[in-house]
Amino acid sequence: MTAQRWADLLSSATERCLDTLLSGADQDWSRPAHGLALTCRETLDHLALGLVGYTGLLVSRPTDRYVTLFATLDPEAPIPDCLDGLRIAATLLTTTVRDTDPDARAWHPWGHSDATGFAAMGVTELTLHTHDIARALGLPWALPDDLASAAVDRLFPDAPSGHAPSDTLLWCTGRASLPGLPRRTRWQWDGAL
């Protein structure tokens, strides 16, 4: 799949996730995100930090380390403003994916990757953490199969077949069991080409 197609998927994931999260902006984001040690608010910050971090890796292209750029959301800002910050972080990654040379590679602890790999990481982070927050806040959210399928195909080469893509992504990331397969207690994706 091309970087342009991945940028389109990342943009789509951003819009779908933000629509869902904005619908719960008036709720209590200090409660724990489903299945995480972080609150919903902290999960949002983690998500923004990750998207900006992936952008920084693609721009600087280190071979052996994270970049020193960290971005956080204002802890005093209301949730709608934080969601604007998340949109900015996702747009930075989307634009960088679209504009990065196809031969460019950057370090990630789970595999040196190209722009498509970092886009897949962004899609995975957006959709899964929206899942975590939506479940905690009781928001309607169904992990989109088109996004889950793309993420599984790019990042989880050992994923089992024969299941719905959304269920498979949840299993791959330790969030659910599958028929005949217990819930994973340890996992990581493979961003390498």
Q: Which residues pair with 178 in a beta bridge?
A: 181
Residue pair 20/140 in contact by the 8 Å Cβ criterion: yes
Instruction: Report DSSP state, residue 50.
Output: H
The pLDDT value given to residue 156: 97
Mean pLDDT in the chain? 95
Written in H, E and C, the secondary structure of 90-102 is: HHHHHHHHHHCCC
The pLDDT value given to residue 67: 80
CA angle 22, 26, 31 (to 5 degrees): 100
Per-residue confidence band for 188, with pLDDT thresholds at 50, 70 and 90: very high
- Cα→Cα distances 7→10, 127, 168, Å: 5, 15, 22
The pLDDT value given to residue 170: 98
CA angle 156, 107, 152 (to 5 degrees): 15
Per-residue confidence band for 6, with pLDDT thresholds at 50, 70 and 90: very high
The pLDDT value given to residue 125: 97
The pLDDT value given to residue 168: 98
Domains of the chain: 3-172 (1.20.120.450)
Which of 16, 8, 13 is closest to 98 using CA atoms?
Answer: 8
Measured CA to CA, the distance from residue 186 to residue 134 in angstroms comes to 23
